[in-house]
Structure 1
Amino acid sequence: MIKLCIVDDHAVVRSGLMMLLNAKEDMEVIGEASEGNEAIELALRLRPDVVLMDLSMPNGKDGLSAAKDLKQALPDLAVLILTMHDDDEYLFRAIHAGASGYILKTAPHEELLKAIRSVAAGHAYLYPTATKRLMSQYVDQLQGGDSSSFDTLSDREKEVVSLVAKGYSNKEVAEQLVISVKTVESHKSNVMEKLHLKTRPELVKYAMKKGLLNFE
């Protein structure tokens, strides 16, 4: 049985979803919330398998912020974004926030049920056109890198990227740049967030694409 919580600021939407999902033998709605803070409290208390989350909720914490906080508190929880926003920016921000899936409110009921079952089983789900756009962006990044993200880095952050990618430890980077180890760690954290990177190998590949591995 897949246990769900529904988070949407419209009561009519929540009611309709509850009727649809509770009619399925393998699904049960165990809670509902109208905004993000309430959703976090609800999920921590009820421990659902899937949280069906709207993005735009004006009277409290929004869906993206709530999804990020929920994934930090409950890493095994699947958050499925259900929204009207067919927009690349929202899609990519939802993925970076840790959402397991993204589906539009205009999707057929069977597609929504498929998405819920998919994320509940530990898989990722994106509606078809979103998958194409995501793959297109990934290919563009492989070919030329994310120049817009790179432009947001300060000169000091670029220096840190270069040294870290070359294999220097935080202490060694700090000594070369005459800053504290804590400052190096702060720069690294900011860089990884700006560039949407998670591991050192990813950082090395990025630095290589940007020509930051020129050893003197």
Structure 2
Amino acid sequence: MKETIRVIVAEDLDVLREHFCDLIRQEEDMEVIGEASSGKQLLQLLTGLSASSVPMPDIILMDIEMDMKHDGIVTAQQVLARDPEIKIIFLTVHEDDETVFNAFETGAVDYVLKTSSGEEIINSIRTAYAGIAQIRPEVANKIKNEFSRIRRNEESLLQATLILAQLTPTELEIVELLLKDMKTSEIARHRQVELSTIKSQINVILKKFNKKRSKEVTALLRDLNIQPLIRKVRGG
């Protein structure tokens, strides 16, 4: 006997929720066992199923944003903490990197755009149920780009750390003051030295970092979140 895939649809817009439910009901190997319009309602539905000893869903087709932004993200974490066997497919209108990464970080197995064809949505459900790991081309590209970004950051961090190790205590202090957005004149007053001295020291720092402006140095260090390392080196 062919197994039936048990699906819950969680979507706050009634017309879309009914659309997805209708798609699923047309498939002989699928059934909709519940609907929810919010993360809270979904959790209540799952609690009710569990208490009545009714089999839990195989798949939850869930909107990322319901009554609150990222409601689906938070709810997915709670659902999978209760029952990691449930497979979650996110529905979204967004395709930005942050949304995609946040979705997969919950443990969800897939995400589909709400504008996807019915065939694509149904295939996503079947693939998830079969336990087949599927990475869409657009997701693969995002992951590839993220790894490239991480690799670039690692290389930049190593290079910046080596440069910081070569700075004198005075230069490190000046860098830290620049990171506090102090102007050259303010640094001179703070250190009680001539303005020309600070300008000369900043020029040396720029040459070591191979930068033309102090803002480029501070932007790099902030991007790499390297301020704690500077404080540690300086004994702060």
- Give 1:48's match in structure 2, choosing from 39, 46, 57: 57
Q: Which runs of 5 or more residues in structure 1 are unaligned?
A: 159-216
Structure 1 length-normalised TM? 0.64
Matched, 1:20 2:29: no
Mapping for residues 89-168 of structure 1, pairs under 5 Å: 89-142=98-151, 144-145=153-154, 151=225
Residue identity opposite 2:13 in structure 1: H
79 and 154 in structure 1: CA distance in 2 versus 1, 3 angstrom threshold: farther
| Amino acid in the other structure paired with 2:40 | N
Are the aligned partners of 2:23 and 2:122 in contact in 1 as well (CA < 8 Å)? no
Instruction: Output the CA distance in 2 between the equivalents of 1:5 and 1:117.
Output: 14
Query: Per-residue deviation at 1:56?
Result: 1.1
User: Could you say what secondary structure the match of 1:117 adopts?
Assistant: helix
Check 1:151–1:45 CA distance in 2 against 1; reply closer, same or farther (3 A cut).
farther
Cα displacement string for residues 137-163 of structure 1 (whole angstroms, at most 9, x for unaligned residues): 1243245449789639966xx9xxxxx
Match for 1:105: what amino acid?
A: K
CA RMSD, 1 decimal: 2.7
Name which of structure 1's ranges 2-11 and 108-117 shifts more when overlaid on structure 2.
Answer: 108-117
Deviation at 1:26, TM superposition (A): 1.1
- Write the distance in 2 (CA, Å) between the matches of 1:11 and 1:98: 26
Q: What is the CA distance between 1:8 and its match in structure 2?
A: 0.5
SS in 1 for 2:27: coil
| Cα distance in 2 between the residues matched to 1:150 and 1:14 | 43
Letter in 2 for 1:135: K
Structure 2 residue runs without a partner (length 5+): 50-55, 158-221
Instruction: Tell me the percent identity.
Output: 33
- Within 1, Cα distance between the matches of 2:33 and 2:61? 12
Partner SS state of residue 57, structure 1: coil
Match of 1:34 among 34, 37, 54: 37
Task: Give distance in 2, aligned partners of 1:6 and 1:23.
Answer: 15
Task: Report the count of equivalent residues.
Answer: 156
Counterparts of 2:57 and 2:71, CA distance in 1: 19
Higher CA-based Rg: 2
Q: Which residue of 2 aligns with 1:83?
A: 92
3-state SS, counterpart of residue 151 of structure 1: coil
CA, structure 1 residues 85+19, in 2 after alignment: closer, same or farther (shift >3 Å)?
A: same
TM superposition shift of 1:111: 1.1
1:39-90: CA deviation from partner (whole Å, max 9, x where unpaired) = 1222344310000010111269811100111111111110100110111111
CA contact (8 A) 1:64 1:93 kept: yes
